[in-house]
Structure 1
Amino acid sequence: MIAKGMISGLVALSVLTGAAGAFAEEGEHDAMAERLAPVGKLCLQGQECGTAVLLAAADASVEEEAAASEVDSASSIDTAALYTSAGCAVCHANGIAGAPKLGDSAAWAARLAKGTDALYASAINGIGAMPAKGGRPTLSDEEVMALVDYMIAEDQ
Protein backbone atom coordinates (compact mmCIF):
# COMPACT_ATOMS: atom_id res chain seq x y z
CA MET A 1 0.00 0.00 0.00
CA ILE A 2 2.86 2.38 0.80
CA ALA A 3 4.45 1.56 -2.56
CA LYS A 4 1.17 2.33 -4.32
CA GLY A 5 1.01 5.72 -2.56
CA MET A 6 4.62 6.52 -3.50
CA ILE A 7 4.01 5.68 -7.15
CA SER A 8 0.87 7.83 -7.17
CA GLY A 9 2.85 10.68 -5.63
CA LEU A 10 5.61 10.39 -8.26
CA VAL A 11 3.05 10.38 -11.07
CA ALA A 12 1.36 13.45 -9.62
CA LEU A 13 4.71 15.20 -9.25
CA SER A 14 5.67 14.50 -12.87
CA VAL A 15 2.29 15.76 -14.10
CA LEU A 16 2.66 18.96 -12.09
CA THR A 17 6.23 19.46 -13.30
CA GLY A 18 5.14 19.07 -16.91
CA ALA A 19 2.24 21.46 -16.37
CA ALA A 20 4.54 24.05 -14.84
CA GLY A 21 6.72 23.87 -17.96
CA ALA A 22 3.67 24.46 -20.14
CA PHE A 23 2.94 27.71 -18.26
CA ALA A 24 6.50 29.01 -18.42
CA GLU A 25 6.94 32.70 -19.15
CA GLU A 26 7.12 33.89 -22.75
CA GLY A 27 10.67 35.21 -22.20
CA GLU A 28 11.87 31.76 -21.25
CA HIS A 29 10.50 30.32 -24.49
CA ASP A 30 12.25 33.05 -26.50
CA ALA A 31 15.53 32.42 -24.68
CA MET A 32 15.23 28.69 -25.27
CA ALA A 33 14.38 29.23 -28.94
CA GLU A 34 17.46 31.44 -29.31
CA ARG A 35 19.70 28.81 -27.69
CA LEU A 36 18.31 26.09 -29.94
CA ALA A 37 18.45 28.14 -33.14
CA PRO A 38 20.81 26.80 -35.82
CA VAL A 39 24.21 28.46 -36.03
CA GLY A 40 24.10 28.58 -39.80
CA LYS A 41 21.78 28.42 -42.71
CA LEU A 42 21.96 26.53 -45.97
CA CYS A 43 21.56 28.71 -48.99
CA LEU A 44 21.49 27.27 -52.47
CA GLN A 45 22.74 29.12 -55.50
CA GLY A 46 20.10 31.49 -56.78
CA GLN A 47 18.43 31.98 -53.40
CA GLU A 48 18.54 35.31 -51.60
CA CYS A 49 20.30 34.69 -48.29
CA GLY A 50 21.55 38.12 -47.35
CA THR A 51 25.14 37.23 -48.19
CA ALA A 52 25.18 38.57 -51.74
CA VAL A 53 26.73 41.84 -50.58
CA LEU A 54 29.46 40.02 -48.65
CA LEU A 55 30.26 37.74 -51.59
CA ALA A 56 30.40 40.69 -54.00
CA ALA A 57 32.77 42.52 -51.66
CA ALA A 58 34.97 39.43 -51.31
CA ASP A 59 35.09 38.97 -55.08
CA ALA A 60 36.03 42.61 -55.57
CA SER A 61 38.79 42.29 -52.97
CA VAL A 62 40.23 39.21 -54.69
CA GLU A 63 40.15 40.98 -58.06
CA GLU A 64 41.89 44.04 -56.59
CA GLU A 65 44.63 41.87 -55.07
CA ALA A 66 45.14 40.06 -58.38
CA ALA A 67 45.37 43.36 -60.26
CA ALA A 68 47.79 44.77 -57.70
CA SER A 69 50.04 41.71 -57.90
CA GLU A 70 50.11 41.97 -61.72
CA VAL A 71 51.18 45.59 -61.47
CA ASP A 72 54.02 44.78 -59.09
CA SER A 73 57.24 43.83 -60.78
CA ALA A 74 59.96 41.66 -59.32
CA SER A 75 62.15 44.72 -58.80
CA SER A 76 59.60 46.39 -56.51
CA ILE A 77 59.22 43.36 -54.21
CA ASP A 78 60.80 43.70 -50.78
CA THR A 79 62.23 40.18 -50.78
CA ALA A 80 63.90 40.39 -47.38
CA ALA A 81 60.57 41.19 -45.72
CA LEU A 82 58.71 38.72 -47.93
CA TYR A 83 61.21 35.97 -47.06
CA THR A 84 60.25 36.32 -43.40
CA SER A 85 56.53 37.06 -43.78
CA ALA A 86 55.88 34.34 -46.38
CA GLY A 87 57.29 31.75 -44.03
CA CYS A 88 60.32 30.79 -46.12
CA ALA A 89 62.61 31.52 -43.18
CA VAL A 90 60.96 28.86 -41.04
CA CYS A 91 62.37 26.01 -43.13
CA HIS A 92 65.27 27.67 -44.96
CA ALA A 93 66.83 29.20 -41.83
CA ASN A 94 66.79 25.85 -40.03
CA GLY A 95 67.16 23.27 -42.82
CA ILE A 96 63.82 21.67 -41.97
CA ALA A 97 62.79 18.67 -44.13
CA GLY A 98 65.89 18.97 -46.29
CA ALA A 99 65.41 22.63 -47.20
CA PRO A 100 68.74 24.20 -48.09
CA LYS A 101 69.74 26.65 -45.38
CA LEU A 102 70.14 30.25 -46.31
CA GLY A 103 73.90 30.87 -46.63
CA ASP A 104 74.84 27.16 -46.91
CA SER A 105 76.83 27.21 -50.18
CA ALA A 106 77.26 23.44 -50.31
CA ALA A 107 73.53 22.82 -50.03
CA TRP A 108 72.75 25.33 -52.76
CA ALA A 109 75.56 24.27 -55.15
CA ALA A 110 73.82 21.10 -56.41
CA ARG A 111 70.56 23.00 -56.83
CA LEU A 112 72.25 25.87 -58.67
CA ALA A 113 73.95 23.38 -61.01
CA LYS A 114 70.48 22.59 -62.41
CA GLY A 115 69.97 26.25 -63.25
CA THR A 116 67.74 28.97 -61.91
CA ASP A 117 64.80 27.94 -64.12
CA ALA A 118 64.77 24.55 -62.37
CA LEU A 119 64.91 26.30 -58.99
CA TYR A 120 62.02 28.55 -60.00
CA ALA A 121 59.98 25.54 -61.14
CA SER A 122 60.70 23.66 -57.91
CA ALA A 123 59.71 26.65 -55.79
CA ILE A 124 56.54 27.37 -57.78
CA ASN A 125 55.38 23.76 -58.17
CA GLY A 126 56.83 22.28 -54.99
CA ILE A 127 59.50 19.65 -54.48
CA GLY A 128 60.04 17.01 -51.82
CA ALA A 129 58.43 18.13 -48.56
CA MET A 130 58.00 21.71 -49.81
CA PRO A 131 54.51 22.37 -51.17
CA ALA A 132 53.91 24.58 -54.20
CA LYS A 133 54.92 28.18 -53.47
CA GLY A 134 56.03 27.08 -50.01
CA GLY A 135 52.41 26.55 -49.02
CA ARG A 136 51.46 30.15 -49.81
CA PRO A 137 49.22 29.94 -52.90
CA THR A 138 48.53 33.69 -52.74
CA LEU A 139 52.11 34.43 -53.79
CA SER A 140 52.50 35.28 -57.44
CA ASP A 141 55.04 33.40 -59.56
CA GLU A 142 57.06 36.62 -59.76
CA GLU A 143 57.20 36.87 -55.97
CA VAL A 144 58.33 33.26 -55.68
CA MET A 145 61.04 33.82 -58.31
CA ALA A 146 62.15 36.98 -56.48
CA LEU A 147 62.38 34.97 -53.26
CA VAL A 148 64.52 32.33 -54.99
CA ASP A 149 66.78 35.09 -56.33
CA TYR A 150 67.01 36.55 -52.82
CA MET A 151 68.04 33.20 -51.31
CA ILE A 152 70.62 32.65 -54.07
CA ALA A 153 72.06 36.14 -53.52
CA GLU A 154 72.25 35.56 -49.76
CA ASP A 155 74.13 32.31 -50.40
CA GLN A 156 76.92 34.01 -52.32
Structure 2
Amino acid sequence: MSSLIKIFSRKLFTLMSIAGVAALMSSTVSAIGQSPEDITARVAPIGNVCISGEECEVSSAATVAANDGPRSGEAIYNQFCTACHSVGVAGAPKFGNAGDWAPRVAKGFDSMMTNAINGINAMPPLGTCTTCSDDEIKGAIEYMVDNSQ
Protein backbone atom coordinates (compact mmCIF):
# COMPACT_ATOMS: atom_id res chain seq x y z
CA MET A 1 0.00 0.00 0.00
CA SER A 2 2.81 2.41 0.81
CA SER A 3 4.39 1.96 -2.65
CA LEU A 4 1.02 2.86 -4.19
CA ILE A 5 0.98 6.10 -2.17
CA LYS A 6 4.54 6.90 -3.30
CA ILE A 7 3.59 6.41 -6.96
CA PHE A 8 0.47 8.52 -6.52
CA SER A 9 2.48 11.26 -4.76
CA ARG A 10 5.06 11.37 -7.56
CA LYS A 11 2.37 11.57 -10.23
CA LEU A 12 0.54 14.30 -8.29
CA PHE A 13 3.79 16.24 -7.87
CA THR A 14 4.50 15.91 -11.60
CA LEU A 15 1.00 17.09 -12.52
CA MET A 16 1.24 20.07 -10.16
CA SER A 17 4.65 20.98 -11.58
CA ILE A 18 3.29 20.84 -15.12
CA ALA A 19 0.30 23.00 -14.08
CA GLY A 20 2.63 25.56 -12.51
CA VAL A 21 4.80 25.76 -15.63
CA ALA A 22 1.67 26.06 -17.79
CA ALA A 23 0.40 28.93 -15.66
CA LEU A 24 3.75 30.68 -15.94
CA MET A 25 3.80 30.17 -19.70
CA SER A 26 0.27 31.50 -20.13
CA SER A 27 1.17 34.77 -18.39
CA THR A 28 4.20 35.12 -20.67
CA VAL A 29 2.21 34.29 -23.78
CA SER A 30 -0.36 36.98 -23.00
CA ALA A 31 2.32 39.62 -23.61
CA ILE A 32 3.03 38.09 -27.03
CA GLY A 33 -0.39 39.18 -28.30
CA GLN A 34 0.40 42.85 -27.65
CA SER A 35 1.17 45.19 -30.49
CA PRO A 36 4.63 46.76 -30.67
CA GLU A 37 3.04 50.11 -29.77
CA ASP A 38 1.47 48.61 -26.62
CA ILE A 39 4.79 47.13 -25.55
CA THR A 40 6.64 50.39 -26.25
CA ALA A 41 4.11 52.34 -24.18
CA ARG A 42 4.35 49.80 -21.34
CA VAL A 43 8.15 49.95 -21.10
CA ALA A 44 8.56 53.66 -21.85
CA PRO A 45 10.61 55.67 -19.34
CA ILE A 46 8.60 57.62 -16.78
CA GLY A 47 10.76 60.72 -17.06
CA ASN A 48 13.76 62.43 -18.59
CA VAL A 49 16.87 63.96 -17.09
CA CYS A 50 17.72 67.49 -18.14
CA ILE A 51 21.19 68.89 -17.61
CA SER A 52 21.48 72.48 -16.46
CA GLY A 53 22.51 74.73 -19.32
CA GLU A 54 21.29 72.34 -22.00
CA GLU A 55 17.94 72.55 -23.72
CA CYS A 56 15.48 69.82 -22.77
CA GLU A 57 13.41 68.30 -25.52
CA VAL A 58 10.47 67.53 -23.23
CA SER A 59 8.83 70.18 -21.10
CA SER A 60 8.80 69.38 -17.41
CA ALA A 61 5.65 68.35 -15.56
CA ALA A 62 5.98 71.47 -13.42
CA THR A 63 5.84 73.67 -16.52
CA VAL A 64 2.82 71.80 -17.85
CA ALA A 65 1.06 72.10 -14.48
CA ALA A 66 1.88 75.81 -14.28
CA ASN A 67 0.38 76.39 -17.72
CA ASP A 68 -2.87 74.69 -16.73
CA GLY A 69 -3.36 76.94 -13.70
CA PRO A 70 -3.84 75.86 -10.11
CA ARG A 71 -5.61 72.54 -9.55
CA SER A 72 -8.41 72.17 -7.03
CA GLY A 73 -7.92 70.47 -3.69
CA GLU A 74 -10.24 67.71 -4.85
CA ALA A 75 -8.20 67.16 -8.03
CA ILE A 76 -4.94 66.99 -6.05
CA TYR A 77 -6.50 64.56 -3.56
CA ASN A 78 -7.88 62.32 -6.32
CA GLN A 79 -4.60 62.22 -8.22
CA PHE A 80 -1.97 62.13 -5.47
CA CYS A 81 -3.48 61.59 -2.01
CA THR A 82 -6.19 58.99 -2.41
CA ALA A 83 -3.83 56.01 -2.66
CA CYS A 84 -2.81 56.42 0.99
CA HIS A 85 -5.56 58.50 2.56
CA SER A 86 -8.49 56.44 1.26
CA VAL A 87 -7.38 53.35 3.23
CA GLY A 88 -5.00 54.74 5.87
CA VAL A 89 -1.71 53.39 4.51
CA ALA A 90 1.04 53.50 7.18
CA GLY A 91 -1.19 55.43 9.57
CA ALA A 92 -2.34 58.12 7.14
CA PRO A 93 -5.58 59.72 8.33
CA LYS A 94 -8.42 58.25 6.27
CA PHE A 95 -10.53 60.50 4.10
CA GLY A 96 -13.95 60.93 5.70
CA ASN A 97 -12.85 59.65 9.14
CA ALA A 98 -13.28 62.45 11.68
CA GLY A 99 -11.51 60.43 14.40
CA ASP A 100 -8.37 60.12 12.29
CA TRP A 101 -8.28 63.82 11.49
CA ALA A 102 -9.27 65.27 14.89
CA PRO A 103 -5.80 65.09 16.52
CA ARG A 104 -4.23 66.68 13.46
CA VAL A 105 -6.84 69.43 13.28
CA ALA A 106 -6.26 70.09 16.99
CA LYS A 107 -2.58 70.82 16.28
CA GLY A 108 -3.62 73.50 13.80
CA PHE A 109 -3.59 74.02 10.08
CA ASP A 110 0.00 75.29 10.04
CA SER A 111 1.17 71.98 11.52
CA MET A 112 -0.70 69.99 8.87
CA MET A 113 0.69 72.25 6.14
CA THR A 114 4.26 71.85 7.41
CA ASN A 115 3.89 68.06 7.57
CA ALA A 116 2.43 67.91 4.07
CA ILE A 117 5.18 70.05 2.58
CA ASN A 118 8.11 68.43 4.42
CA GLY A 119 6.70 64.92 4.81
CA ILE A 120 6.09 63.05 8.04
CA ASN A 121 6.59 59.40 9.00
CA ALA A 122 5.96 57.36 5.82
CA MET A 123 4.53 60.34 3.91
CA PRO A 124 7.07 61.80 1.49
CA PRO A 125 7.44 65.56 1.01
CA LEU A 126 4.45 66.95 -0.86
CA GLY A 127 2.81 63.53 -0.60
CA THR A 128 4.26 62.47 -4.00
CA CYS A 129 2.96 65.59 -5.79
CA THR A 130 6.31 67.06 -6.78
CA THR A 131 4.57 69.54 -9.07
CA CYS A 132 2.18 70.89 -6.42
CA SER A 133 2.39 74.47 -5.29
CA ASP A 134 1.91 75.36 -1.63
CA ASP A 135 -1.57 76.65 -2.51
CA GLU A 136 -2.48 73.33 -4.15
CA ILE A 137 -1.24 71.41 -1.09
CA LYS A 138 -3.29 73.77 1.09
CA GLY A 139 -6.35 73.09 -1.07
CA ALA A 140 -5.86 69.32 -0.79
CA ILE A 141 -5.58 69.51 3.01
CA GLU A 142 -8.68 71.70 3.23
CA TYR A 143 -10.56 69.28 0.96
CA MET A 144 -9.62 66.27 3.11
CA VAL A 145 -10.36 68.02 6.42
CA ASP A 146 -13.65 69.54 5.22
CA ASN A 147 -14.82 66.09 4.09
CA SER A 148 -13.71 64.41 7.31
CA GLN A 149 -15.65 66.42 9.92
Q: Deviations over 1:22-71 (max 9, x none)?
A: xxxxxxxxxxxxxxxxxxxxxxx9xxxxxx6xx3444xx349817826x9
What's the counterpart of residue 91 of structure 2? 98
Q: CA offset at residue 82 of structure 1?
A: 2.2
Secondary structure of 1:155's aligned partner:
coil
Aligned to 1:81: 75
Q: Which residue pairs with 2:109 in the alignment?
A: 116
CA shift for structure 1 position 72: 3.8
- Describe the shift of the 1:120–1:80 C-alpha distance in structure 2 as closer, same or farther (beyond 3 A): same
CA change 1:81–1:67 in 2 (3 A) is closer
The residue type equivalent to 1:152 in the other structure is: V
Report the CA distance shift for 1:142/1:105 in structure 2 as closer, same or farther (over 3 A).
same
Residue 66 of structure 2: aligned partner: 68
CA distance in 2, matches of 1:82, 1:103: 16
Distance 1:114 1:95, change over 3 A: same
137-146 vs 114-123, which moves further: 137-146
The answer to whether the 8 Å contact 2:72/2:140 transfers is no
Rounded to whole Å, the distance in 2 between the matches of 1:56 and 1:89 is: 32
Q: Report the AA paired with residue 83 of structure 1.
A: Y
Deviation at 1:137, TM superposition (A): 1.4
Structure 2 residue 122 is the aligned partner of structure 1 residue 129: yes
- Provide the residue aligned with 2:143 in structure 1: 150
Q: Which amino acid aligns with 1:78?
A: S
Change (3 A) 1:63 1:155: closer
Is the CA contact (8 Å cut-off) linking 2:117 and 2:126 kept in structure 1? Answer: yes
Is the Cα–Cα contact under 8 Å of residues 74 and 143 in structure 2 kept in the other structure? yes
Shift of 1:140: 1.4
> Where does structure 2 lack aligned partners over 5 or more consecutive residues?
1-50
Identify which of structures 1 and 2 has the higher relative contact order when contacts are C-alpha pairs closer than 8 Å and 6+ apart: 2
Kept in 1: contact 2:118–2:125 (CA 8 A): yes
Distance 1:94 1:66 in 2: 30
Distance in 2 between residues matched to 1:67 and 1:80, nearest whole Å: 15
- The residue type paired with residue 115 of structure 2 is S
Structure number with bigger Rg: 1
TM-score, normalization: structure 1?
Answer: 0.54
Aligned CA-pair RMSD? 2.6
Identity in percent: 39
